[in-house]
């Protein structure tokens, strides 16, 4: 049986792309003056304008037909019904249940998950509220006021990004640090800035086996014990967020101090669960609930709106069009909002860990190109770095520009300038600048003809580079929740169309396994040079031996070639 790329819907889209080969997005605007409105949609407080992408009305209809062919509507139903759509891990995918305020019941293996979700959130809220009221006391009797979230991947990127984004909602006097890297300097930098007597360590790990997190957690506990805390104080200063009670217990955290979630919450979709504890601690439980409610509003839209009027579906289809029919291999996330500085990193995991796959659900090679490379930086910083390539590089990248119309911290005309750049960059990418125009401008500036001839080609912008605008009125917790949910659903829809499992991540395993084998081969610093390693390929052996030679060298000796 053929895959999605063998369907007549796919072939029709290839035809639509061919028909557009000599047209630009600007031409499409000339053909359809109402295009800006027609290619825009709003839902749950999020406005999406995808009109600057080179998609014709026919192509959009073809994409919706493709989504129908892939049974996106059925896939949405199966997901929210708790079917084990994560087939390679035999798990349901129910992050929507974590933020369902419509009183739906989610049953899994006879257990009512809605009750379990409510109960665990209740414990989390109680704990966060006690922290906010200075009722959590440390070993000296002083109230705790600092959180160190120790986690990595989904147990770090989500809460970190949201905490940063919701800075205006922070509880006064509270501080939150996020430690993820196994590089000891990450934890070391945080420990340098905190008081053990006032610090709560939040050990966030779905599996509670992740090397980086377990290493950081053990070092944090050792530091705590060496700096005034005793074994019996650990209970006041360490909590665990996990699905693995046995491992939490083995680590030495009392299950009383554990907040639970479930295997049907994927790591990169987990900030809505107790993994969001650091958000509730830093910004308050009411803010956390507002975030959840924003996501819920987007969920309601996603599960009820027809495909053609469904914002996350349309965003996904624009991505499919750019990736599969225009052949674009990279997609930029460009938040014009400093508070969303970590959104690109968050979406890198969300999109690339979910859809960076080359095998279909049935084990056959994927039928078509899957996730593009995701990268990004906040605007306007990126403009002074990699936008050169966006505007004039040989590879065309698609981009999402994200902004809030109003700022929580007005300062002079900063926000007007930010928004002007947000708009102008998208305009420049689409409209470009033709040779004649460059020529005329240089003439106006009195450049001699030979100089104009020499310089003009360098100043041409081909334009027709696709971008979408994602706009909210203000970056409230609700708006942020809706934006994140929008991206989660976009990723899911794309995975359905590509026929892949967006919810496993086998591609991260091999490196982890090999690192375990290499670890005992790394020499201790300043120790005796170990015997040469020859158990790997020649390059790997050479690298380990070079590292070991450097680590064994007496201090001060320069070992670089
Ligand atoms: O290595 C990838 C990964 O499994 C991610 O999917 C996950 O978010 C991260 O590691 C952290 O996992 P855990 O929460 O189990 O420590």
Pocket test for ligand 1, best of 159, 180, 505 (most atoms within 8 A of CB): 505
In the set 512, 516, 525, 559, the catalytic residue is 512
Give me the pLDDT at residue 518, please: 96
Ligand 1 mean position, distance from CA 102 (Å):
30
Give yes or no for residue 206 CB within 6 A of ligand 1. yes
Given a contact cutoff of 8 angstroms between Cβ atoms, the answer to whether 159 and 205 are in contact is no
What secondary structure letter does DSSP report for 503? T
Give how far Cα 235 sits from Cα of 132, 227, 245, 377, 501, Å. Answer: 18, 16, 15, 39, 39
| Rg (alpha carbons) of the chain, rounded to whole number | 26
Residue 241 near ligand 1, beta carbon < 6 Å: no
Task: Say how far apart CA 181 and CA 318 lie, in whole Å.
Answer: 34
248 lines ligand 1 (CB under 6 A): no
Best residue among 93, 149, 153 to mutate for probing ligand 1, ranked by most atoms within 8 Å of CB: 153
Beta pairing partners, 433: 461
Q: Indicate if ligand 1 lies below 6 Å from the C-beta of 154.
A: yes
| Cβ of 432 less than 6 Å from ligand 1 | no
Beta carbons within 8 Å of 264's beta carbon, 6+ residues apart: 82, 91, 92, 93, 94, 108, 113
The per-residue pLDDT for 256 is 93
- Evaluate: CB of 273 within 6 angstroms of ligand 1: no
* Residue 212 alpha carbon to ligand 1 centre in Å: 10
Are 479 and 46 in contact by the 8 Å Cβ rule? The answer is yes
Contact 400, 344 (CB under 8 A): no
| φ and ψ at residue 477, rounded to 5 degrees | -55, -40
CB of 545 within 6 A of ligand 1: the answer is no
CA 263 vs. chain centroid, Å, equals: 20
> In this structure, what token pair is assigned to residue 326?
């225009």
Q: Which of 206, 246, 262 to mutate to test the pocket of ligand 1 (most atoms within 8 A of CB)?
A: 206
User: What is the three-class DSSP state of 32?
Assistant: coil
| pLDDT for residue 183 | 98
Before 380, cis peptide (omega within 30)?
yes
Question: Is the minimum distance from the CB of 180 to ligand 1 under 6 angstroms?
Answer: no
**Considering 30, 118, 384, 414, which one is annotated as catalytic?**
384
- Please list the residues that pair with 107 across neighbouring strands: 112
Q: What's the angle, vertex CA 143, arms to CA 141 and CA 144, rounded to 5?
A: 120
280 CA to centre of ligand 1 in angstroms: 21
State the CB neighbour count (10 A cutoff) for residue 495. 24
Is the beta carbon of 477 within 6 A of some atom in ligand 1?
Answer: no
> Nearest CA to 327 among 389, 392, 372, 282?
372
* CA dist., res. 393 & res. 228, Å (int): 56
Range 186-203 burial, b when 16+ CB lie within 10 A, else e: bbeebbeebebbbbbbbb
Q: What is the enclosing helix (H) or strand (E) of 38?
A: helix 35-38
Q: Is the CB of 370 under 6 A from ligand 1?
A: no
Helices (H), 205-325: 211-226, 234-237, 245-251, 277-283, 285-304, 311-320
Query: Atom 6 of ligand 1 has which residue's CA nearest to it?
Result: 267
**How many whole angstroms separate alpha carbon 278 and alpha carbon 285?**
10
Print pLDDT tens along the chain (561 aa). 579 999 999 999 999 999 999 999 999 999 999 999 999 999 999 999 999 999 999 999 999 999 999 999 999 999 999 999 999 999 999 999 999 999 999 989 888 899 999 999 999 999 999 999 999 999 999 999 999 999 999 999 999 999 999 999 999 999 999 999 999 999 999 999 999 999 999 999 999 999 999 999 999 999 999 999 999 999 999 999 999 999 999 999 999 999 999 999 999 999 999 999 999 999 999 999 999 999 999 999 999 999 999 999 999 999 999 999 999 999 999 999 999 999 999 999 999 999 999 999 999 999 999 999 999 999 999 999 999 999 999 999 999 999 999 999 899 999 999 999 999 999 999 999 999 999 999 999 999 999 999 999 999 999 999 999 999 999 999 999 999 999 999 999 999 999 999 999 999 999 999 999 999 999 999 988 789 999 999 999 999 999 999 999 887 655 454
C-alpha dist (Å) from residue 413 to 400, 406, 407: 24, 12, 11
**Residue among 149, 151, 210, 263 to mutate when testing ligand 1 (max atoms within 8 A of CB):** 210
Q: Which CA distances in Å does 425 have to 194, 227, 368, 412, 418? A: 41, 51, 31, 22, 11
Cα separation, 153 vs 148, whole angstroms: 16
Dihedral sign, Cα of residue 473, residue 476, residue 481, residue 484: positive
Q: Are the C-beta atoms of 502 and 85 separated by less than 8 Å? A: no
Ligand 1 closest atom vs CA 268 = 8
Closest alpha carbon to 514 in 531, 546, 537, 493:
537
DSSP states of 463-484 as a string? ----EEEEEEEE--HHHHHHHH
- Catalytic-residue membership of 232: no
Residue 529 has what pLDDT? 79
Q: Which residues, 6+ apart, have CB-to-CB distance to 410 below 8 Å?
A: none
Considering only CA atoms, which residue is closest to atom 1 of ligand 1? 508
Give the residue among 456, 452, 332 at the shortest CA–CA distance from 389: 332
CA distance linking residue 418 with residue 214, whole number of Å: 41
pLDDT at 560: 54
Q: What DSSP string runs through 177-217? A: EEE--SSHHHHHHHHTT--GGGEEEEEE-SSS--HHHHHHH
Buried/exposed code over 263-291 (b: 16+ C-beta within 10 A; e: otherwise): ebbbbbbbbbbbbbbbbbbbbbbebbbbb
pLDDT of residue 556: 60
Q: d(Cα 380, Cα 455) in Å, to the nearest integer?
A: 26
* Catalytic option among 289, 353, 377, 478: 353
Is 330:145 a contact under the CB 8 Å cutoff?
Answer: no
Sorted by sequence, the CB contacts under 8 Å of residue 524 that are 6+ apart come out as: 551
Q: Annotated catalytic, 353?
A: yes
Helix ranges restricted to H, 380-476: 387-392, 414-431, 435-444, 449-455
């Amino acid at each position: 049986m053929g895959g999605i790329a063998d369907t007549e819907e796919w072939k029709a889209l290839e035809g639509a792309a061919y028909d557009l080969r000599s047209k630009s997005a600007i031409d499409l605007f000339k053909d359809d003056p109402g295009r800006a409105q027609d290619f825009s949609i709003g839902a749950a407080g999020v406005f999406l304008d995808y009109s600057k992408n080179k998609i014709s009305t026919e192509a959009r209809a073809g994409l919706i037909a493709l989504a129908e062919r892939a049974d996106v509507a059925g896939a949405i139903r199966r997901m929210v019904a708790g079917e084990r759509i994560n087939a390679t891990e035999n798990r349901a995918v129910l992050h929507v249940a974590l933020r369902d305020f419509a009183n739906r019941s989610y049953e899994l293996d006879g257990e009512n998950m809605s009750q379990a979700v409510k109960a665990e959130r209740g414990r989390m809220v109680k704990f966060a509220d006690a922290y906010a009221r200075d009722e959590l006391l440390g070993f000296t009797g002083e109230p705790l006021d600092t959180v160190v979230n120790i986690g990595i991947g989904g147990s770090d990127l989500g809460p970190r990004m949201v905490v940063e984004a919701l800075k205006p909602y922070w509880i006064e006097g509270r501080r939150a640090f996020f430690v993820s890297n196994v590089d000891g300097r990450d934890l070391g930098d945080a420990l340098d800035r905190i008081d053990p007597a006032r610090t709560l360590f939040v050990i966030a790990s779905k599996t509670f086996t992740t090397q980086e997190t377990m290493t950081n957690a053990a070092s944090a506990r050792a530091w705590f014990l060496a700096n005034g805390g005793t074994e019996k104080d650990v209970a006041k200063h360490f909590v665990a967020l996990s699905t693995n009670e046995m491992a939490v217990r083995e680590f030495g955290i009392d299950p009383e101090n554990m907040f639970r979630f479930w295997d049907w919450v994927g790591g990169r979709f987990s900030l809505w669960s107790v993994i969001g504890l650091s958000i509730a601690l830093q910004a308050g439980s009411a803010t956390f609930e507002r975030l959840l409610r924003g996501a819920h509003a987007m969920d309601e839209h996603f599960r009820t709106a027809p495909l053609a009027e469904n914002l996350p579906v349309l965003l996904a289809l624009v991505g499919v069009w750019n990736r599969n029919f225009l052949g674009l291999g990279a997609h930029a996330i460009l938040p014009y909002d400093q508070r969303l500085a970590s959104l690109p990193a968050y979406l890198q995991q969300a999109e690339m860990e979910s859809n960076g796959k080359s095998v279909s659900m049935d084990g056959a090679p994927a039928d078509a190109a899957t996730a593009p490379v995701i990268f990004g930086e906040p605007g306007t910083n990126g403009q002074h770095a990699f936008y050169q390539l966006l505007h004039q590089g040989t590879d065309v990248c698609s981009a999402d520009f994200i902004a809030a119309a109003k700022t929580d911290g007005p300062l002079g005309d900063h926000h007007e300038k930010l928004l002007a750049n947000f708009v102008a960059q998208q305009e420049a990418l689409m409209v470009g600048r033709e040779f004649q125009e460059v020529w005329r401008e240089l003439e106006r500036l009195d450049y001699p003809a030979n100089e104009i001839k020499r310089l003009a080609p360098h100043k041409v912008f081909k334009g027709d580079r696709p971008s979408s605008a994602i706009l909210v009125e203000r970056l409230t917790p609700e708006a942020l929740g809706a934006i994140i949910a929008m991206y989660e659903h976009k990723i899911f829809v794309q995975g359905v169309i590509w026929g892949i499992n967006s919810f496993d991540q086998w591609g991260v395993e091999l490196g982890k396994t090999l690192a375990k084998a290499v670890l005992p081969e790394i020499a201790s610093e300043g120790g005796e040079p170990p015997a040469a390693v020859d158990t790997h390929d020649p390059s790997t052996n050479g690298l380990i031996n070079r590292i070991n030679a450097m680590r064994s060298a007496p201090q001060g000796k320069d070992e670089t070639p």
